[in-house]
Amino acid sequence: MKQKSRLLAAFSLLMAVTMLIGCVANPTVAPATVAPATGAPATDAPAPAPVKVLYWSTSWFPASQEGRKASVVKFNQEYKGKIEVEYIQGESSARKQYIEGGIAAGGGIACVMEYDARVMDWYSKGYVNDLRPYITPEIKAYMTDDQWIARTAPDGAIPLSGTTLAEMNFLYYNPAHFEAAGIKPATLDNPWSWDTLFENAKLLTVDINGKQLGEAGFDKANVAHWGYISGLDGEKVIQNGMDYAQMAMGAPIIRQENGKWGWFLDDKGAKAYERYLTSVLAGISPEAAIGMNGDTMNQLFAEGKVSMLLRATFVRPALVSNFPDFKFAAMPMPMNPDDKMFYVAGGEGLVMTKYCEQPEAAAEFIFWMMKPENNAIFVFGNGMTPANIGALDVEPYASDRDWDIIRSYLKTGVTYITPYNPNLQEFYDTVVAPTLMEVGAGTMSFADANKLIQEQAILMLNK
């Protein structure tokens, strides 16, 4: 398992790419000439200015931002004199306001923005363009067919390119806590089941007197460090919970059967879902974990108040950036013996906004970013899986052994595609998230929650 020093070395390599590009001597561009008229001598004319493209990014921590900036520098060097991309640092929470304001004003915003599968709502409202006119067979080969289909609107339009795949998780751990408890980390050859995770988390939940959870005299009010924590907020009770349930089921929970949308959770899936939601009830996570945001979880982990953290791969560079002295490691996420990696096709990408005045140049940048050597630079700093899997064979991914975990997921994994449903986000926000958070808090049984969600799915998803 890679240690942080090797990760920092990889980031150094990423930064070196930026510095190297910046230090390369610019090639001499011959000035344009105008043909002489009536025998007059030729006159020099200035070369035409490069087409400028504004790119609005939502990266939110230093390593992520540096990766994107390095990509822009590399692109501008390769297209010097032809296209010049200007990087604009935006905020994820401001995306909707930014694009809606631009559309209302008839333009004046960036040509290129970052987004995810929710772009279908933007496309249906006419906010972004169809990228199909710019997709060649070479570009089509940058991603698998299922990833393209996941980015395709009901009318066949493709409003989103591919930069990353859907989130995948690591189980981060504190090596010092493991050594003190005599616990060996999971490996690719010997992954933990959910039962093993909970058992070891109990051993790692220790009070200030050194007593473990379940031991006589354990002081729940004065815990030195909890065994485990994961997202139990409105987003993660859906995203993570569904991921683990679907791994057990081998089928998507939300799907159409006989032409009707529904919430189809079988017994195996229900058991996995309930286990994910009940770490607080099991005593291995603090009660404050219900609704806790990611930054707070990261801080608890880095301060040694939590021994294991189940979160997405992007957390790794964020931890390194924000807590450079903290020593941690990553291992495969828990999987029951019969589970297989079963994950939704899709992820993040770049979109072209409606009033883009340089569509050809914007498309050139959007799809240049999908080449493996460019996709690697763009995505690695963000800690995500590149949409072009070939980028995993390019530095800085190639020599990073933690990414062997993701390579293993992809090797054995199966993707699924859920057709677009315009009512899905409302269903998530108003029914699924608040109901499942009640399960995590212990105020509703999982059986009652599941029944309620099933009933509401039929009503809301088919309207």
Q: Specify the residue for token string 């919430």.
A: 263
pLDDT of residue 137: 97
Asked whether the predicted pLDDT for residue 204 surpasses 90, the reply is yes
pLDDT of residue 336: 81
Question: Which residues, other chains included, contact 251 with Cβ-Cβ below 8 Å and sequence gap of 6+?
Answer: 264, 266, 342, 416
Q: Are residues 177 and 65 in the same domain?
A: no
Helix (H/G/I), strand (E/B), else coil: 265: coil
Asked whether the predicted pLDDT for residue 218 surpasses 90, the reply is yes
Q: Are residues 351 and 375 in the same domain?
A: yes
The structural domain count of the chain equals: 2
39 in a structural domain: no
Question: Which residues, other chains included, contact 452 with Cβ-Cβ below 8 Å and sequence gap of 6+?
Answer: 431, 435
Q: Are 26 and 84 in contact (CB under 8 A)?
A: no
Q: Are residues 360 and 437 in the same domain?
A: no
Distance CA 22, CA 77 (A): 8
- Helix (H) and strand (E) counts in the chain: 18, 16
pLDDT category of residue 335 using cuts at 50, 70 and 90: confident
Residue 198 identity: F
pLDDT of residue 48: 86
pLDDT category of residue 44 using cuts at 50, 70 and 90: low
pLDDT of residue 21: 41
pLDDT category of residue 16 using cuts at 50, 70 and 90: very low
pLDDT of residue 354: 97
What is the DSSP secondary structure assignment for residue 96, as one 8-state letter?
A: H
Residues 267-325 have pLDDT tens digits of: 999 999 999 999 999 999 999 999 999 999 999 999 999 999 999 999 999 999 999 99
Burial (CB < 10 A; 0-12, 13-18, 19+), residue 418, is middle
Q: Are 325 and 186 in contact (CB under 8 A)?
A: no
Poorest-confidence range of 27-36, 155-164, 239-248, 267-276? Answer: 27-36
Distance CA 121, CA 420 (A): 10
pLDDT of residue 418: 83
Q: Are residues 375 and 339 in the same domain?
A: no
Distance CA 430, CA 249 (A): 25
Q: Are 370 and 143 in contact (CB under 8 A)?
A: yes
Q: Are residues 23 and 104 in the same domain?
A: yes
Q: Specify the residue for token string 């395709």.
A: 152
Count of CB atoms situated within 10 Å of the CB of 365 = 25
Q: Are residues 197 and 315 in the same domain?
A: yes
Residue 47 identity: A
Q: Are residues 317 and 378 in the same domain?
A: no
Q: Smallest Cα–Cα separation from 57: which of 100, 86, 87, 85?
A: 87
Percentage of the chain modeled with pLDDT above 90: 83
- The CATH number that applies at residue 143 is 3.40.190.10
Question: Which residues, other chains included, contact 455 with Cβ-Cβ below 8 Å and sequence gap of 6+?
Answer: none
Asked whether the predicted pLDDT for residue 185 surpasses 60, the reply is yes
332 in a structural domain: yes
178 in a structural domain: yes
pLDDT of residue 100: 95
Helix (H/G/I), strand (E/B), else coil: 321: helix
Asked whether the predicted pLDDT for residue 440 surpasses 50, the reply is yes
Torsion of CA 354, 360, 362, 367, to 10 degrees: 120
Q: Taking residues 416-439, report their average pLDDT.
A: 94
Q: Are residues 357 and 408 in the same domain?
A: yes
pLDDT of residue 266: 95
Whole-model pTM: value is: 0.85
Asked whether the predicted pLDDT for residue 461 surpasses 50, the reply is yes
Helix (H/G/I), strand (E/B), else coil: 396: coil
pLDDT category of residue 36 using cuts at 50, 70 and 90: very low
Q: Are 283 and 204 in contact (CB under 8 A)?
A: no
Distance CA 300, CA 173 (A): 12
Distance CA 254, CA 418 (A): 8
Q: Are residues 292 and 403 in the same domain?
A: no
148 in a structural domain: yes
355 in a structural domain: yes
Asked whether the predicted pLDDT for residue 1 surpasses 50, the reply is no
Q: Are residues 203 and 315 in the same domain?
A: yes
The helix (H) or strand (E) run that includes residue 176 is: helix 175-181
Helix (H/G/I), strand (E/B), else coil: 51: strand
Q: Which residues sit opposite 33 in a β-bridge?
A: 44
Largest CA distance in the chain: 104
Residue 205 identity: T
pLDDT of residue 43: 55
What is the DSSP secondary structure assignment for residue 127, as one 8-state letter?
A: -
Q: Are residues 376 and 457 in the same domain?
A: no
14 in a structural domain: yes
Asked whether the predicted pLDDT for residue 24 surpasses 70, the reply is no
pLDDT of residue 29: 33
Asked whether the predicted pLDDT for residue 37 surpasses 60, the reply is no
pLDDT category of residue 338 using cuts at 50, 70 and 90: confident
Domain containing residue 359:
4-34+47-166+345-416
Q: Which residues sit opposite 45 in a β-bridge?
A: 32
Distance CA 77, CA 67 (A): 16
Distance CA 3, CA 330 (A): 9
Residues 55-78 have pLDDT tens digits of: 999 998 899 999 999 999 999 999
Q: Are 23 and 423 in contact (CB under 8 A)?
A: no
First to last CA, the chain: 49
181 in a structural domain: yes
Residues 99-112 have pLDDT tens digits of: 999 999 999 999 99
42 in a structural domain: no
Helix 4-23 to helix 315-322 angle (10° resolution) is: 90
Residue ranges with strand state E in 259-413: 260-263, 308-312, 329-332, 342-344, 349-352
pLDDT of residue 243: 92
pLDDT category of residue 34 using cuts at 50, 70 and 90: very low
Average pLDDT for the chain? 90
Q: Taking residues 344-371, report their average pLDDT.
A: 97
Q: How far from chain centre, in Å, is Cα 182?
A: 33
Tell me the backbone φ, ψ of residue 203, rounded to 5 degrees. -65, -30
Q: Taking residues 143-165, report their average pLDDT.
A: 96
Distance CA 61, CA 295 (A): 11
Q: Are residues 177 and 158 in the same domain?
A: no
